[in-house]
Amino acid sequence: MRGPTGLSPATGTVVPMTSFAYAVSREGTQVGPPPLGLLGRLDREEAEGRLLAPGATRAEGGGNRSRPEEPDAYRTCFERDLDRIHHSRPFRRLAGKCQVFVAPADDHLRTRLTHAIEVAQVAVGIARPAGLNVALTAAAATAHDCGHGPGGHASEPAFSPFVEGGYHHAVYGADVVLAPLNLCVETLDAVRNHSWNRPASATPEGEVVSWADRIAYVCHDFEDAVRAGVVSADDLPAAVGDVVGRTRSAQLNAFISAMLATVAETGRVGMAEPEAEALAAFRAFNFERIYLRPDSVAQGERFGAVLRALVEWYAAHPDGIEEGAAANGSGGVDPVATAVRHVSGMTDRYAFAMAVELLGWDPARLPTGV
């Protein structure tokens, strides 16, 4: 009689097992063997070939990467990308980078991390029923803002003088910040081109991420601004509220449903009217009343001054960067590029601490909350 067996994670082949361990329950929870056996990468690749839309992106083997890798036994190439992003430092540091409000006292206001999670939820909510590759969509949406520096969009004009061609968070995120993860080119393309001022993504999943980003931020930034007292819920224009509702859940449902209706009717990624007009009106309102209000502009300018000063200090004092802290595709021996890489990875709180410690800044000069 053959003894207990299992599958090798490296090869997917059957290997003998001599003992078992269980969590909590002495004998383990009885589930029975999987009806089709353990589903590996090849099983899911085959399922994608049958079930995804004709234009959806298919996973294949180890994936198209700058550094070739052997395929995983269980995960598709895009599932591996998502796992790497979840476990990465750039993704974790998004918890300390602001979405709209810098280091707010109210813990319920969004950070870049919670924004990324919400974008991924919206994007997957579109991709799954549309027959697109969910793993690729989730990976790109989760990583899309890893190139943001401290202070969110305020970091882009601050870093631009130090970067050839200027600093764009989407491009920098794909080409520099995420480079050490050796992600698939399709994932990186979707990150690089998620912003609407960039070229269209090469995949429909990337286009979904672009829409999901805009849908998520206009809805939750307004909700946060109401909570922070910057605007009132009654300020929402009728061109928005009368079309997609006045709660975030209703708005998300309306925008996602309008996109799915468009995919079903046209076979292309887009959004039906009048919801698309409502989304544009929502964004225009947010820019006027939230993002470009005088206090927000002043906050961004103060943050930019902090970041420029830190880049200049680290470029002149490269020994001040701990070994390995700025290691990635941007570094090399260029002290300015290394300084930008280091400062761009900082959380808001750490950037402020370094401004006080290294530059002698008065804490009263630092940007504050709302």
Long-range pairs for 61-64 at CB < 8 Å and ≥24 separation?
A: 63/184, 64/184, 64/185, 64/186
Q: pLDDT at position 33, please? A: 79
Instruction: Dig out the tokens for 204 from the structure.
Output: 């429909």
Q: Is 239 exposed, middle or buried (0-12, 13-18, 19+ CB in 10 A)?
A: middle
Q: Is residue 68 part of a domain?
A: no
- For the entire predicted model, the pTM comes to 0.91
Give the domain extent around 83.
78-296
What whole-number distance in Å separates Cα of residue 61 and Cα of residue 77? 7
Q: How many domains does the chain have?
A: 1
**For the packed helices 134-143 and 204-228, what is the interaxial angle rounded to 10 degrees?**
50
Q: pLDDT at position 3, please? A: 41
Q: Is residue 114 part of a domain?
A: yes
Q: Is residue 64 part of a domain?
A: no
Q: Is residue 277 part of a domain?
A: yes
Q: Is 159 exposed, middle or buried (0-12, 13-18, 19+ CB in 10 A)?
A: buried
Listed as ranges, residues in the chain with pLDDT below 70 are 1-18, 24-28, 323-332, 369-370
Tell me how crowded residue 60 is: count the other CB atoms within 10 A of its CB.
16
Contact status, residue 310 vs residue 165, Cβ threshold 8 Å: no
Instruction: Dig out the tokens for 108 from the structure.
Output: 């319920």
| Nearest alpha-carbon partner for 145 in 205, 98, 215, 184 | 98
Q: pLDDT at position 22, please? A: 73
Longest pairwise C-alpha distance within the chain: 78
Query: pLDDT per residue over 189-234, tens digit each?
Result: 999 999 999 999 999 999 999 999 999 999 999 999 999 999 999 9
Q: Is residue 368 part of a domain?
A: no
> Is residue 5 within a helix (H) or strand (E), and if so which, with residue range?
strand 5-7
Q: Is residue 181 part of a domain?
A: yes
Q: pLDDT at position 126, please? A: 98
Distances (CA, A) of 209 to 191, 196, 305, 319: 8, 11, 31, 39
First to last CA, the chain: 70
Q: Is residue 113 part of a domain?
A: yes
Left (φ > 0), alpha (ψ -120 to 50) or beta: where does 32 sit?
left
Q: Is residue 135 part of a domain?
A: yes
What whole-number distance in Å separates Cα of residue 233 and Cα of residue 227? 9
Domain CATH number, residue 89:
1.10.3210.10
Query: pLDDT per residue over 94-126, tens digit each?
Result: 999 999 988 777 889 999 999 999 999 999 999
